[in-house]
Structure 1
Amino acid sequence: MKKFLSFILSPFLIGLVACNSSDQNNKNRMQTTDFISEAKVEAIVKQLKDSLGESHVFRIERGVWQVADLWRETDGTVDDFSDFCKNSFISDTAELSRLFNTLERNLEVIYGYYHKIDVMLKAPLQLEGPEITPVDMMFGGYDVSAHLTDDLYANQIAFITALNFPFYTLKEKTELGENWTRKEWAYARMGDRSTARVPAAILQDISRTITEADAYISDYNIYMGELRNEAGEQLFPSTMKLISHWGLRDELKSNYADKERGLEKQQMVYKVMQRIIDQSIPLQVINSDNYSWNPITNELFDKNGGTVASKPEDTRRYGVFLKNFHAMRQLDTYSPDYPTQLVRAFDGTMEVPQKDVEELFRGLLSSPQVKEVASFIESRLGRKLEPFDIWYNGFKSGEGIPEDELTAITSRKYPDAQALEEDLPNILVKLGWKPAKAKEITSLVTVDASRGAGHAWGAEMRNDVARLRTRIGAEGLDYKGYNIAVHEFGHNVEQTITMNDVDYYMLNGVPNTAFTEAVAFLFQKRDLELLGLKNPNPEDEYWLALDNFWSCYEIMGVSLVDIQVWEWLYANPNATPEQLKEAVINAAKEVWNTYYAGILGGKDETLLGIYSHMIDYPLYLPNYPMGHLIAFQIEQQVRGKNLADEMYRMYTQGSIIPQHWMKNAVGSPISIEPLLAATHEALQALKK
């Protein structure tokens, strides 16, 4: 489950527009405006260099060009620009440090309180409660910080920041960062803060569009008790309501433990997913229990068993996706060095180039271990694999515990959100935290019942709370909700540590969202252990390797589909929802045929197009497999050590770039090789 971000507040927008991988000269970074001439910039640079000396050359050149890049006629005359640069550039080390401290302190105040407002405005959309009204949507889509960028340029705070704290490209951070002090890293992250001017109207539009997409997905539920097979039988409990895709996927996974009708249930869920992807699903069954539905034949029935004419969802899913594309594309003009959402997502936000990410993914998907693990799964299932076995989750010794038994335990233990919140300190103690530290961390985590599948939302200032959201039914927390809650709690623990225990506010957080996913996976894999249901087993590390490998195999293909679709969108910016639907389905088929059909069957299978993230969270999906790889390397690092101590050591590095973070944390960069080697070793050991 994703770490929730508001998308257009500081963590997101800064990541989008702050970074630059270009090797061009500073002057070539000038945006579309040429209000400040190149000759004028060079003259000011020369005057400052002559008066301050060669030791300040880099900061002078970079800073003056950055301000010139951002200055508009409305900010003042050319002479005003010249006076500003000459009067505002700080060469004294102590004075520069004071400026940094002032900026850091005040930005924390601004971002922290804007975040708290955003949390409250979006609460009716995200938490269990009354039906969402149009006015709720208006407030939830309102970005209270949209004018902040305009204001910070108008009062020249953004210009002072850009002039005195150089922006470093990803290449420069990679080459120089290993030798930087913590303060130099903090200065560099301050330099990331003022590098683009996006109009408030665009920020508001992005906020509104993403909020609408999130609301669409949060209410995309299937009432499983209303599904019927061809014999007219009901296979699922009447009370079961599952969100797409997470709930459907997790229900499919849970039925590997059902030896009687589990396969039939899985095939029915699989068919529901296919109908969501191709949009043949009847609109009447989405978030409604008014009708019964046979997903195999696509027939709809009223409460008396009579056949009802159905209306397909058609292209609504892809219309939402398309609106996200057009919203994010508005940023292209304001990010000349990162001119597409693809480049922003990888070189900017993730700070790992797209080509490097794809190389990792295709390397694992093409590895010989795929066929070996698939053969191992077949031997355990006693049948040929089917496409939905992409979600096989039986990598455990012995027989799995049926989900209804697990739900009986979790619903009794956690009847409501308060019970879960009260138990959070105990969970951390079981994971290795000392009681005092466990209480300190969990005092800054609050639990809410979620409308959607669940998410974690961290604070934006120290001593504010992180929010854990998961679905909690009238009968308590079922196992699916518990499993998600443990995952989200991992995010919350990371969020709390990296906000409150990192030495500089400018370095709070993690290098990218894959690193918080890594913690969430570490927690989630221990969910049964936390319930006292899993005893230490010497084979556990082998099962863990296989589980991680198969999870990567699944989500790497999904991520490649997401990437291909965004590439298609940029090549076809005037596409209709119908054309986008066709493009998603074609991309899903192409990736499936390349990496999955020979393993799981189903030529031209569309299953890789089911993921809801593709619809409501643009280009987030690649963070999951990166998170799996990072989590596995971290898991190897913490094995035999105290998880709490190791996590604290690693995560208090904060938001330096990913590969430096990994080298400091585990001694090597992000790689598929440790997982491939461990998978091979696991297969050899478990086949004996």
Structure 2
Amino acid sequence: MRNIIIIMAMATLIAVSGCNENQEAVTGGPVKAFIEQTAVEKVIQTLNDSLGEAPKFRIERGVQQVANLWRESDGTVEDFEDFCLGNFVAEEPALENLYRKLERNFEIFNGYFHKMDVLLKEPIQLEGPEIEPVDMMFGSYNAAAHLTDDFFNNKIAFLTALNFPFYSLKEKTEKGATWSRLEWAYARMGDRFTSRIPAEIIQQASKTLTEADAYISDYNIYMGRLVNDKGENLFPDGMKLITHWGLRDELKSNYAGANGLEKQRMIYDVMKRIIDQSIPQQVINKDEYTWNPADNKLFKDGAEVQGNPEPDKRYEVLLGNFHAMKAIDAYNPNFPTYISRAFEEYMEIPQEDVERLFTEFVSSPQVKEVAAFISQRLGRPLEPFDIWYNGFKSRGGLPEEQLTAITSKKYPDPKALQADLPNILVKLGWPQEKARQITSLISVDPSRGAGHAWGAEMRNDIARLRTRIGAGGMDYKGYNIAVHEFGHNVEQTVTMNDVDYYMLQGVPNTAFTEAVAFLFQKRDLELLGMPNADPNKDHMMALDNFWASYEIMGVSLVDMKVWKWMYDNPAASPAELKEAVISAAKEVWNNYYAGILGGKDEPILAIYSHMIDNPLYLSNYPMGHLIDFQIEQQVKGKNLADEFNRMYTQGRLVPQVWMKGAVGQEISIKPTMNAATEALKALQ
């Protein structure tokens, strides 16, 4: 899912941004408190004496939160004391009334600023004329950057922080199982204002993330212009693949068909040229030259010409994201690094727990057993690119060309896909009227990039399904991706409109929306009228999930290593970062993949575009695979729509509490690993 981390990161920045007056320089250390602790204790004592024991916890935490956020520009110490004493709401009916008013108005602000953002980014994200500088100026502009400045200036932010405590992840996990729905909504309201980030930092982050997304969205390779050592073209003329998604999916599709292995090796060479930046600039998004990626020779009209390597642009973009995110650190005492924000604030699972879970999985003995089974099926030793082996997926016995003939006829343009969305949901188990209601709030748009899903920020607004549909209709790769993105859209629409409290709308983290997308994507052939009749389909699905998890966990481990390295080396150059990324990729490969797939010092785990344009997003994919498998076991033999609605209308609880409510257990690698073991026994 392409844009979700950008959207999530910017929504968080909007929620916590604040005024820069009387704060330290944006590159300086932590912001110093203006309110002394003696004043805090005085206010707490006064409120406790007058209101008694019942609201004691809220008083102590709320007053401290306001003190942490209060700046000299907000008023004197006496103003702080008067504000707290005059605005603390003790009685439950009055507190619920305040919550309802805040919730209503925050939805209005979030919803309409989001609509502005969607419209301003359309020239950058949708098919159309070439992007011009003025498009980037508007598309990277954050209209809401000063919104929270105003909320602090008019004291709305302080009113919220005073009355709705912020709970740590540990507290939410331990206490949340016994909270009522309203108590959960209060806790999410307490997440609303926990720090103050200067508006100029918000604008810079928005600009940086938008430019990174545009860089990746326009990074295409014209495959018909690639040649082997004999000068032969292996791919059809006009095939244009975005990196890395298009390249990866084309590699996957060549496990069958003519010259499949040679094509895969050629794509693998292209990927390695992108990683080390030896790829000639002349072949990026251009079709004027012929290129042999194996020896990196470039030709024009049959004659060899000099290529100009891409000048570490890939790592310049990554470094820009790091600096934009690091600039926020000084203003976020609860989550003082972007690593902590990405995991403990956004994912709500500690980074150490995620890394431990992934390391345990990729080190498991089942990996070697599944790899041996794949090698047996292929009839050859595995090569590094077999990390993307997809032979466990059913294709109905049809080669991809025939599947593309079906999808291109069925979906010649975005309108055809739009019209078929209700039918897709009905096939998945939704009642016809509910399917119509959900899809009436989803719009299909032609995407410049690989495609993404972008949910609304207020009820009854439109979610966006961005997908690529060529002049000849939607090919099978595009269809498969579109079904994935549609899963996101359904989750986004249901959790926005059918969850009881606005502050609980959504899912615990993006891994949970990835899980829905995987559920939909696995059923893509069923939706084309080709149900899988294989009696071993459940075993094959288990192995597919296992191998996909193994692949993406390694990528995520590299991503985490790179961000730790950047924090340790904040003054690094793009060239130094390139070497660090390649070194991290090789280290993870040598530790967990070389003994399985062959090759030493392979850098391929660094190819993922999300590493470049979506900061620390990649861990959501393997978490999504694990969650998806547990949910798949839960819905087995049941109506998918009913189970989906039961689970996903829980809304945005913390992950482990949500999982217990959904499937009766926490997130675990054991169901996936055990199922892989059972599948191998059955299939061998």
Partner of residue 557 from structure 1, selected from 546, 554, 558:
554
Contact 1:31 1:70 (C-alpha < 8 Å) held by counterparts: no
In structure 2, the residue matched to 1:72 is 71
1:173-212 equivalence runs, <5 A? 173-212=172-211
> 1:471 corresponds to which residue?
468
Deviations 1:10-44 (A, max 9, x none): 643379899xxxxxxxxxxx963231111011001
Q: Which residue of 1 aligns with 2:234?
A: 235
Tell me: CA distance 1:266–1:277, structure 2 relative to 1, closer, same or farther (3 Å): same
Instruction: Quote the residue 1:433 is aligned against.
Output: 430
The answer (yes or no) to whether the contact 1:15–1:349 under 8 Å persists in 2 is no
Residue 338 of structure 1 aligns with which residue? Answer: 335
| Alignment length (residue pairs) | 674
Counterpart residue type for residue 237 of structure 2: S
Q: CA deviation at 1:297?
A: 1.0
AA aligned to 1:262 is: G
| Residue number in structure 2 paired with 1:263 | 261
Contact 2:16–2:193 (Cα < 8 Å) also in 1: no
- Give 1:6 shift: 4.3
Residue 634 of structure 1 corresponds to which residue in structure 2? 631
Q: Is 1:153 aligned to 2:152, yes or no?
A: yes
Partner of 1:22: none
1:520 aligns with 2:517: yes
Q: Whole-Å Cα distance in 1 between the matches of residues 82 and 348 of structure 2? A: 35
Corresponding residue for 1:279?
277
Q: Distance in 1 between matches of 2:279 and 2:397?
A: 32
The corresponding residue for 1:25 is none
Partners of 2:16 and 2:273 lie apart in 1 by: 34
Question: Do the aligned residues in 1 keep the contact of 2:281 with 2:309 (CA within 8 Å)?
Answer: yes
Q: What residue number does 1:4 align with?
A: 4
Kindly report which structure 2 residues correspond to 1:124-163, keeping only aligned pairs within 5 A, or say none: 124-163=123-162
Query: Equivalents in 1 of 2:427, 2:656: separation in Å?
Result: 30
Distance 1:423 1:671, change over 3 A: same
1:324 corresponds in structure 2 to 321
The corresponding residue for 2:23 is: none
One-letter code aligned to 1:378: S
Amino acid across the alignment from 1:7: I
Paired residue for 1:26? none
- CA distance, structure 2, for counterparts of residue 16 and residue 357 of structure 1: 26
Q: Deviations over 1:308-328 (max 9, x none)?
A: 110000311000000100000
Percent identity, please.
68
Q: Would the aligned equivalents of 1:16 and 1:348 in 2 still touch at CA under 8 Å?
A: no
The unaligned stretches of length 5 or more in structure 2 are 19-28
CA distance in 1, matches of 2:183, 2:395: 52
Tell me how far apart the structure 1 counterparts of residues 350 and 542 of structure 2 sit (CA, whole Å).
26
Would you say 1:95 and 2:91 are equivalent positions? no
Other-structure match for 1:299: 297
1:396 deviates by: 4.1
What's the counterpart of residue 443 of structure 1?
Answer: 440
Contact 1:15 1:344 (8 Å CA) reproduced: no
Where structure 1 has 5 or more consecutive residues not aligned to the other structure, the ranges are 19-29
Q: 1:618-644 CA distances to partner (integer Å, 9 max, x unpaired)?
A: 000000000000000000000000000
Residue aligning to 1:86: 85
Aligned mates of 1:656, 1:331 — CA distance in 2: 25
- Residue by residue, what CA displacement relative to the aligned partner does 1:413-468 show, whole Å, maximum 9, x if unpaired? 00000000100011111111111111010000000110000000000000001100
Alpha carbons of structure 1 residues 331 and 627: separation in structure 2 relative to 1, 3 Å = same
Return the offset for 1:5.
Answer: 4.9
Aligned to 2:21: none
Q: Equivalent residue for 2:603?
A: 606
Distance in 2, matches of 1:16 and 1:282, equals 42
The C-alpha deviation readout for 1:46-73, integer Å capped at 9, x for no partner, is: 0000001011110000000000000000
Contact 2:290–2:299 (8 Å) recurs in 1: yes
**Preserved contact between residue 446 and residue 465 of structure 1 (Cα < 8 Å):** yes
Aligned to 1:24: none
Counterpart Cα distance in 2 of 1:165 and 1:561: 38
Aligned-residue offset at 1:399: 7.7
**Conservation of the 8 A alpha-carbon contact between 1:14 and 1:193:** no
Q: In structure 2, how many angstroms separate the alpha carbons of the residues matched to 1:513 and 1:438? A: 23
Residues 1:51 and 2:53 aligned together: no
Whether the aligned pair in 1 keeps the contact of 2:557 and 2:588 (CA below 8 Å) is yes
Normalized against structure 1, the TM-score is what?
A: 0.96
Tell me the distance in 1 between the aligned counterparts of 2:140 and 2:576: 27
CA distance in structure 2 between the aligned counterparts of 1:234 and 1:354, rounded to whole angstroms: 45
- Distance across 1 between alignment mates of 2:395 and 2:185: 50
What is the match of residue 412 of structure 1? 409
* Counterpart AA for 1:153: F
Q: Deviation per CA, 1:589-611: give whole Å up to 9, x if none.
A: 00000000000011000000000
Separation in 2, partners of 1:323, 1:650? 38
Counterpart CA distance in 2 for 1:358 and 1:8 is: 22
Q: TM-score, normalised by structure 2?
A: 0.97
- Matches of 1:233 and 1:576, distance apart in 2: 39
Match of 2:577 among 577, 580, 591: 580
How far has the Cα of 1:8 moved from its partner? 6.7
2:24 equivalent in structure 1: none
